[in-house]
Amino acid sequence: MADNASSADQVRLLLPGDSAHRLLVTSRHTLATLNARLLDLGVLGPQAAVALLRHALLTADPTDRRVTEAGTALEELARLCGCLPLALHISAALLILEPCQTIAELNAELATAQSRLSYLDDGERAVRASFDLSYRRLPPDHAALFCLMALNPGPDIGLGAAAVLADLPLPAVRIVLRSLVQAHLLDRVNQRWSMHDLVRDYASELVHSVSNPPQHTAAEGTGPEAPEQAGQHRRLMEHYATTAVSACARLGVQAASPVPGDFTDRNEALAWLDDERANLTGSVAAAADAGHHDIAVNLPVVLYDYLTWRGYYDDLISVTTTACRIAHQSGALAAEAGAWNNLGIALSEASRYEEAFRAYDRALDLFTSLGNDNERGKVLNGIGLALRESGRPAESLRAHQEAVAIQRVTGDQREQAAALNNLSLAHQDLEGYAEACAAADEAASLFQQLGDTAN
């Protein structure tokens, strides 16, 4: 047996010369050039992880009541360890060393720790030390990209985004990613690359501790400097934002103009948006935290049509709430007003009507202060719809009447037609059929003038 080989060359001369002998090689890297059968040992499944913890604790003390009284605490501990065998063994050892500590207490420490890696050390074994060994064997450019991967806001990353993050052409970054997969620092599924939770914690420590990174055997100073890191983070956020503009333009939306050449059709654009959904929504919070306020405010507007198209209203509520907060902090009143209106729509779609009315009221106040009657009319139209959906038809009627009156003055025929159409429905709810027909006829006439046959 050749344990913990760092390269194929270390064990090549130990390979048996005939079939009568066998050599078992263990390594943190995939040694693909040995012409040997490869067995990739990944993390355990949740049930196996719990079984490992239970076995370790009961082997040390068959009367350990913490196991029988754990409830779901063992499952939670397995999750916090990412079902990584080394982390599970260390957690079990920590509990064995502290027989008075409950499993729930250890879970609380791990969940609230600034770094779980600091806790996953039993004095003889440490998860961080294991990752250090793999990291130190990386070439400098590979180590640099590994650290930067922690800046990605979602759980996985595509090839294009990785190339932007590394500032490398696609063929070059593919080689680096392949190396990181070979080192078992990344996982790859369907042209998407991801990190185990604890590996991501480790990479995040590296990228945010640039003043004193672990010493790298290949070169000194491989950790990115803070200004460079900020620039790379900004570049990644811009990549997601600008590509989202191009993709959403293919949906036939009015959020932005198309960027030629990015997507050939709607299906390709939707596929990209679906793949990158977690990164796009995560980019809003990441941009807000990093001070990229323009992205935090504008990206939710770009994503509005896609998220409503797919019905992801919880995502829309989350990113638009962030946009409201950042726009307010930046003093961008028009952007804040639009964000509150979009939030009202999203909350209404989620049947959270009382919250929606508060959001709409904030939008009304802001548009009134800005003197923007056209947008104020749109908000009133939205309020009317929410009132109707929440079973308040009389109030809905008044809101739509006010919206129609405002749009007659502004001269926005499309918004006037939309408000009239909704006014017709409100009249129907109150059994005012003559008024409903009159409003519907006027709406149809305006839509016909606009060449809008769909409405």
193 confidence band (pLDDT: 50, 70, 90) = very high
Same domain, 293 and 189: no
226 confidence band (pLDDT: 50, 70, 90) = low
Assigned domain for 182 exists: yes
Assigned domain for 72 exists: yes
What pTM was estimated for this model as a whole? 0.80
Same domain, 121 and 137: no
216 confidence band (pLDDT: 50, 70, 90) = very low
CATH number of the domain at 275, please: 1.25.40.10
> What does the pLDDT look like over 246-284, one tens digit per residue?
999 888 744 344 445 578 888 999 999 999 999 999 999
Same domain, 297 and 440: yes
Does residue 225 have a pLDDT over 60?
Answer: no
Does residue 3 have a pLDDT over 70?
Answer: yes
Same domain, 156 and 198: yes
Residue 10 belongs to what domain range?
1-41
Assigned domain for 259 exists: no
218 confidence band (pLDDT: 50, 70, 90) = very low
Work out how many domains the chain is built from and give that number: 4
Residue bearing the bigger pLDDT, 126 or 105 = 105
Does residue 215 have a pLDDT over 70?
Answer: no
Assigned domain for 243 exists: no
Average pLDDT, the chain: 87
Assigned domain for 110 exists: yes
Least confident of 133-142, 215-224, 318-327, 422-431: 215-224
> What does the pLDDT look like over 334-364, one tens digit per residue?
999 999 999 999 999 999 999 999 999 999 9
Same domain, 444 and 391: yes
User: Which residues are CB-contacts of 406 (< 8 A; sequence separation ≥ 6)?
Assistant: 373, 374, 376, 377, 380
Assigned domain for 242 exists: no
Q: Is 89 left (phi over 0), alpha (psi -120 to 50) or beta?
A: alpha
Walk across the sheet containing 187-189 and list its strands.
156-158, 192-194, 187-189
- 29-37: average pLDDT: 77
Same domain, 308 and 417: yes
Contact, 157 vs 149, CB < 8 A? Answer: yes
Same domain, 98 and 200: no
Q: Out of 93, 125, 157, pick the residue that ends a domain.
A: 125
Does residue 212 have a pLDDT over 50?
Answer: no
> What does the pLDDT look like over 35-79, one tens digit per residue?
788 887 778 899 999 999 999 999 999 999 998 888 899 999 999
State what percent of residues in the chain have pLDDT above 70: 93
Same domain, 296 and 429: yes
- Report pLDDT for 306: 95
- Report pLDDT for 455: 66
State what percent of residues in the chain have pLDDT above 90: 59
CA distance readout (Å), 201 to 154, 206, 221, 411, 452:
14, 9, 20, 56, 53
Assigned domain for 262 exists: no
CATH number of the domain at 184, please: 1.10.10.10
Does residue 201 have a pLDDT over 60?
Answer: yes
Query: Where does 127-225 have alpha helices with state H?
Result: 127-136, 140-148, 159-166, 170-182, 197-208
